[in-house]
Amino acid sequence: MKKTVSPYAAPLVSLMLLLGMILIWYAATLPPPAASYTPEQREYAILMGDLPEDGSDVPVGNPSDFPTPAGFAKLGWDHLSQPFYDNGPNDKGIGIQLGYSLLRVLAGYLLAVAVAIPLGYIIGMSPLISKALSPYIQLLKPISPLAWMPIALYTIKDSNMSAIFVIFICSLWPMLMNTAFGVANVRKDWLNVAATLEVKPFRKAFKIILPAAAPAILTGMRISMGIAWLVIVAAEMLVGGTGIGYFVWNQWNNLSLGNVVFAVLLIGIVGMLLDMSFGWLQKKVTYIE
């Protein structure tokens, strides 16, 4: 007899894992106990830089450089309570930094949608064009998006537009391939019925082929969005200026590990929300034959 699992089991296990990680974090950031040194040992430790010269027995470079859970919670509240302040180029609120990143991702992603779906439709409908473009797609698809950055900076001569171009490139291929696959695999019976009824090409595209291929297209769009959100962080570290990627790099240069961890957590939350929204859309267009 199959055992039924309580719907609360998974959230409970997740909560216990979270508490366990916070406990480990707390234990790892506790200050080390003060050790007892003989005068000779203290003098040697100060000479080696292991102890401060003020007579304290707390070692230099202890794990308290990393924020404690309570300190991190306070830091997070400080960021979230004033997310849109602007004190100059290198001191903007986390909401502004996140907004710049999302706008860049959205711009590059929509450009990719405008190119990938029509081109994928043509490739899926025409075996000749599919075979003709296949060598170029197979050549360009494996290239890392960041490898295009120097070429984009040289040709476009604008760091912001170069980051959008990199997002466009990395979003293009999954959408293109999935659209072509979805269109090419629409059931022949449906196409034959459309041909028998003499349905016009434009009507056939929007009433039969694209709705039938929608689950595959949405899968490609979901993969593309995930890659775009991954790449924007690295791209903004390279181009600088504004954005969540630049914020991470800037805080690392300031040795502010708490801000780095907070930004990393925020990147993960935004990425999860983006993926969940595409998952919801995917369910809306999925059908059972």
* Per-residue pLDDT tens over the stretch 229-240: 999 988 998 887
CA–CA separation, 275 vs 270, rounded Å? Answer: 9
Lowest mean pLDDT among 44-48, 91-95, 238-242: 44-48
Longest dimension (CA), the chain: 98
Token pair, residue 4, equals: 């039924």
CB 86 within 8 A of CB 93: yes
Residues 6+ apart with CB under 8 A from 173: 116, 137, 140, 141, 224
Asked whether the predicted pLDDT for residue 64 surpasses 80, the reply is no
Structure confidence at residue 32 as a pLDDT band (50, 70, 90): low
Question: With 0-12 CB in 10 A as exposed, 13-18 as middle and 19+ as buried, what is 278?
Answer: middle
Question: With 0-12 CB in 10 A as exposed, 13-18 as middle and 19+ as buried, what is 173?
Answer: buried
Residues 6+ apart with CB under 8 A from 187: 212, 289
- Helix or strand run (H / E) with residue 167: helix 159-184
Token pair, residue 92, equals: 């903007």
Lowest mean pLDDT among 40-44, 53-57, 106-110, 275-279: 53-57
Residues 6+ apart with CB under 8 A from 25: 68, 69
What's the pLDDT at 103?
95
User: What average pLDDT does the chain have?
Assistant: 88
Whose CA is closest to 143, among 222, 217, 231? 231
Structure confidence at residue 35 as a pLDDT band (50, 70, 90): low
CA–CA separation, 165 vs 149, rounded Å? Answer: 8
What's the pLDDT at 179?
96
59 vs 46, residue with greater confidence: 46
What's the pLDDT at 165?
94
